[in-house]
Amino acid sequence: MAVVLVVDDDAMTLKLLEHTLVSGGHEVVATANSQEAAFLAASHQVDAVILDVIMPGRSGFDVLKDLHLNSETKKLPVLMLSSLGEAEDRVKGLRGGADEYIGKPFNPEELLLRLNRLIDGRVADWPEFQGCLETLAFAEVIQSLEHGATSGVLEVGSGDRRGTVTVTHGVPMKATWGRLEGFDAVLAMMDMNAGTFQFHEQTPPDSSKAADGQIDIQKVLFTGAWLADELTRWPEVGDHVPLSVRQGIEDPVLPSEWNLVPVETVFEDIRSNSGISIVGLQAMERWAPQRIVLAIRFMMHSGDIEVAAKGMRGEDTDGMKEETLLSAVDAVIKTIEQHGFSCELPHVLILVEPLVYGAFLEARQALSAEDLVVSGESITAAWQGGRVATLAFRGLRTGLVLHVVSMESPAGLKQVRAQMTDYPAVVVWLGDPKRVDELEWVFESIETAQASQWGILSTIGQEAAAKAEQVLKGKKRWRLNIHNMTKMEDLLRVIAEG
């Protein structure tokens, strides 16, 4: 049983709240006078506060501020209640330190459930704290750990994505979600509406380890609520719509009050990957998905970016007849055969670095099950596990296998380095000019091979192209590709050119 202070100027709501809480086994201190709320919270040593927002005299936001100014009440869990239910009120409440926000009319059972989790986030047995995010939202999970002041690692999964949050005495210290880390990793996980979680209790590390890495959950909650609110104000842009920088635009218009939205970075990513979509940009994992979407909507509205021009169906942007995937696969196999290699299910190596993850994954997502011999393990799961990802394509005569390795995976690179002679062709696809020098061993391996292997260095951006051109100077078995590859057929056509 807990002692709960309920503050609401509406007599009917106050009575309903009192009945709900008493039925749930709690003791209630009720008042319709917001002026005395902070005093009652301290004098009755309550365990939690339910606070209406709109009240005469002092609003719920004012009372929340009062509670946080008093050392005896500043750590009390607070659930705010409002008939407005607007996103901006949620933002204001969360920014002020509220732990939960429920709109009126409320469901008594839901209110009681949320309040109980705030009062005792410790859960009966932490080692068994696990479940589905469909029934217990990630925000509630992380707040339960926070209020329980426990330590350990929270593992979260959704589809082929995995994330972790390391918690020390209830404070999140580190977080990962795919390649995202820290604040953006938690923000991305906050946006999940499906998946699983499991908490593993562990002994906390030495408290002398700096608090620099602490992740402010209240700030994450505020940011998430603010982003959700802003996203409702701007026209939607389809997740798979190809995007490009509008001709003549050198720099994007920057929103005057938006320091939470990475407009400049997303603008440069679109400039370097013309034709990329929101899905592709999110797959690059530079920022939490919500931030990217808002940046796109703002730039579409300001006219800095536009839907990328596409050729007519059946033609590419150069007016050439578009190849089907089957014919593109066969073209690669034919070139491999011309170089003296067996055409019986040949293998091609593809090395990709983070700046082109988005473009590659988008091309992969466009494939249907009929295009592949087997669906195989997901690309991102293989990369995250340090393994070589495999795509086995159907052809008109035989099949073709692509081995796709992330340049961020030492284990994957080590594996293919020992098998370089098995690949008739190697494609290096990158956007960061600094990564070119790291791959000298790849260039030399193909250049000095006894068999007639060949390599393609495909780049995005002028800097990467200039660096690649310099490195490939004098090499006879390598060529540079600077054309955008937005579909799997584009990649296969580049390989087939030899």
pLDDT at 316: 42
Contact 260, 323 (CB under 8 A): no
Report phi then psi at 4, rounded to 5: -120, 125
pLDDT at 376: 59
Confidence of residue 458 (pLDDT cuts 50, 70, 90): very high
Query: Residues of 132-155 as b/e, b for ≥16 C-beta within 10 angstroms?
Result: ebeebebbbbbbbbbbbebbbebe
Contact 45, 16 (CB under 8 A): no
Confidence of residue 373 (pLDDT cuts 50, 70, 90): low
Beta-sheet pairing, 305-307 with 243-245: antiparallel
Confidence of residue 322 (pLDDT cuts 50, 70, 90): very low
pLDDT at 321: 33
Largest CA distance in the chain: 88
pLDDT at 132: 81
Highest mean pLDDT among 268-272, 324-328, 376-380, 394-398: 268-272
Confidence of residue 96 (pLDDT cuts 50, 70, 90): low
Beta-sheet pairing, 425-430 with 454-459: parallel
Average pLDDT, stretch 225-247? Answer: 85
Rounded distance, CA 317 to CA 322, Å? 9
Average pLDDT, stretch 103-107? Answer: 74
Average pLDDT, stretch 420-441? Answer: 89
Rounded distance, CA 487 to CA 262, Å? 26
Contact 20, 12 (CB under 8 A): no
The mean pLDDT of the chain is 81
Confidence of residue 311 (pLDDT cuts 50, 70, 90): very low
pLDDT at 212: 53
Answer with the residue of higher pLDDT: 230 or 101: 230
Rounded distance, CA 156 to CA 195, Å? 7
Contact 170, 148 (CB under 8 A): yes
Answer with the residue of higher pLDDT: 437 or 121: 437
Rounded CA Rg of the chain:
28
The position carrying tokens 């000298």 is 440
Instruction: List the beta bridge partners of residue 382.
Output: none
**136-165 residue pLDDT tens:** 788 878 877 877 778 889 999 876 578 899
Q: Would the pLDDT of 245 be above 80? A: yes
- Check: pTM over 0.75? Answer yes or no: no
Percentage with pLDDT > 70 across the chain: 88
Beta-sheet pairing, 196-201 with 243-245: unpaired
Rounded distance, CA 269 to CA 254, Å? 16
Give the amino acid at 228: A
Percentage with pLDDT > 90 across the chain: 17
Rounded distance, CA 108 to CA 292, Å? 36
Q: What is the token pair recorded at 418?
A: 């020992």
Give the amino acid at 450: Q
Confidence of residue 83 (pLDDT cuts 50, 70, 90): low
Average pLDDT, stretch 84-102? Answer: 62
Confidence of residue 210 (pLDDT cuts 50, 70, 90): very low
**9-24 residue pLDDT tens:** 888 888 889 888 998 8
Contact 165, 175 (CB under 8 A): yes
Confidence of residue 88 (pLDDT cuts 50, 70, 90): low
Q: Would the pLDDT of 387 be above 50? A: yes
